[in-house]
Amino acid sequence: MNWTESSVIITGGTGTFGQACVDKLLADYHPKRLVVYSRDESKQHTMAQRLSDQSTLRFFIGDIRDRDRLRMALDGVDIVIHAAALKQVPACEYNPIEAVKTNVGGAQNIIEASIDAGVSKVIALGTDKNVAPVNLYGATKLVAERLFVQANCLSTRSGTAFSTTRYGNVVASRGSVIEIFRAQRASGCVTLTDPRMTRFVLTVHDGVRFVLISVERMQGGEVFVPKLPSATILDIADAVAHGCEHTTIGIRPGEKLHEALISPDESRWVLDCGDYYVITSPFHYWQQELAHTGTRVPEGFTYTSDTNPQKLNSDGIFKLVGAL
């Protein structure tokens, strides 16, 4: 594919991922047109000022709940990178209908508007929270993932391909535990939910690179999963707030002790492709087989943050996030 001949839109383009993705696309990929689609006019204004010298950049105020506005924004677009979501677990639990309207209804709107506009490729951002979800956020993201994969059944005439990614916690993103530890370290004491807790971790730049590479690799119907390091919450706290005391407050509602990116029941459909996995759909009504070079994982294979052989200690985490 040729990025320089493509028009690209990023939903949720003023978020942590969205801004990093815009910067990467402008610096290295040079799309013909790059559209930021989001609800926040203040963030768009700040972003537009920072990137005022970028003539190919456009800003659209809009909500993914608004199908008509999406159809207008997607006119002439070749690639959709769907990053907009309600993602804060407590907020989704307290406002469940709002989470469903954005994360599920918004996904439906993206699918229908993309098919109507004749978009070439749509890739959606997923999360480890949608594997055997224990909270509403994870449940809505699981439904959205299924919608995007099966949308390939609807798009045979338009030729639109839909795929998704799954990855773990983005270090130092808005609302992350690193922000909490950074705010607490001045007091000399940080709060831990459970020192045994583990999480997959990556930087936002690694997440952006993986999504953009997945756009190039996708054929339609895949779930792309990167191979990531894991870390304990205790080591993360030591890296960010070294020398501080720890107070254990217990796992919060909607949290898991460990996260999974691939469940055992999915193993029959998983290809190991070197530095990433591809989960193919067992319900691939739109085509017989996806052509990816990889080997089938053993039945019962699982990819979880506690059994992951690639682990980071506090020094590795410090190098990952830099001197906070």
Q: Is 172 domain-assigned?
A: no
**pTM for this one?**
0.95
pLDDT digits (tens, 9 = 90+) for 264-301: 999 999 999 999 999 998 888 877 667 788 999 999 99
Are 8 and 35 in contact by the 8 Å Cβ rule? The answer is yes
List the domain range (segments joined by +) for residue 96: 3-167+203-227+264-299
Share of the chain above pLDDT 90, in %: 83
Note whether residue 237 is domain-resident: no
In a domain, 241, yes or no: no
129 Cβ neighbours under 8 A, 6+ residues apart? 89, 135, 137, 138, 141, 259
Q: Which residue has the tokens 């739109």?
A: 286
Q: Distance between CA atoms of 114 and 155, rounded to whole angstroms?
A: 9
Over residues 201-229, mean pLDDT: 96
* Catalytic residue selected from 129, 141, 256, 319: 129
Which CATH number covers residue 93?
3.40.50.720
Whether residue 252 lies inside any domain: the answer is no
Is 279 within a domain? yes
Q: Is the pLDDT of residue 24 over 70?
A: yes
Give domain status of residue 270, yes or no: yes
Cα–Cα distance measured from residue 258 to residue 159, given in angstroms and rounded to the nearest whole number: 39
- Mean pLDDT of all residues in 26-48: 97
pLDDT at 175: 67
- Specify the number of domains making up the chain: 1
pLDDT tens figures, 144-203: 999 999 999 999 888 999 999 999 888 867 767 888 888 898 899 999 999 999 999 999
Measured distance between the N- and C-terminal CA atoms of the chain, rounded to whole angstroms: 38
Query: Is 129 known to be catalytic?
Result: yes
Cα–Cα distance between 261 and 165 in angstroms, integer? 10
Lowest model confidence (mean pLDDT) among 50-59, 223-232, 286-295:
286-295
